[in-house]
Amino acid sequence: MHKQLHIALIQIDLIWEQPQANRDAIERMVTTITDTVDVIVLPEMFTTGFSMNAVKFAESITGKSVTWMKTLASKMQAAVMGSLIIEDAGKYYNQLVFVYPNGELSSYKKRHTFTLAGEDKVYTMGNERVIINYKGWLLYPLVCYDLRFPVWSRYNNDYHVLLFVANWPKVRVAAWNALLQARAIENMSYCIGVNRVGIDGKGHEYSGHSACYNPLGETISAFVENENGYRIVVLNKDELTTTRERFKFLDDRDNFTLK
């Protein structure tokens, strides 16, 4: 078990609906990392931006982008995660894929599709929580709009780190900042959010604000507005355990079952 986990947050200007160009740009950025890194986190829909053009850009779980993720994970000897458009049995998903350095993978299908943009009309929602065990750390990956729903993010004695990947627009970035911090506080968990920057094909602007918070909601790292680059955060298992044991706020949670 690793007491520390080094996570690289990749905040990048995605090129609208150009998978190869995005893969190339991400790889150029990632391969400049020389520090220790265990997990590399890419934004939501890192191949296309937040596109509703699923028929044209969907890939299979064994397609070019996931194969590229496996190659990158092997090259960096680090896990690589991010969401992209996946087709499975005639349905389309905004699906987060977590690729281990050895090529194995786990995946999570976005639970809350963004109705304001019509995502629910294009993409099928997932219904399963996925907890990833990596180097003795339990990671709970979620996607963008999931951030607004605290019940789905709720700690059930099952994770150490909440991870959100997003295309969260600048116009509502105040909510992004507040909710990431709130999820860390209420779950006494490390909470990481990785957002994109730039302007997409529909004219929506993204200012980033990727960040990492500790179990008390204190900022470990935050990007400068519109920053195009990466940051590495170091999480400490002993700090997490000590904080939870000292304050014991989680012991006073209301008991309920999500149906």
Task: Indicate which residues carry an active-site annotation.
Answer: 44, 110, 144
Strand-strand pairing, 219-222 and 211-213? antiparallel
Got the DSSP string for 126-174?
P-----EEETTEEEEEEEGGGGG-HHHH---S--SEEEEE----GGGHH
Which token pair is 85? 């458009």
Alpha carbons within 13 A on the beta-carbon side of 3:
4
Asked if residues 166 and 211 have their Cβ atoms less than 8 Å apart, the reply is no
What are the Cα distances from residue 60, in Å, to 57, 89, 97, 110? 10, 10, 11, 16
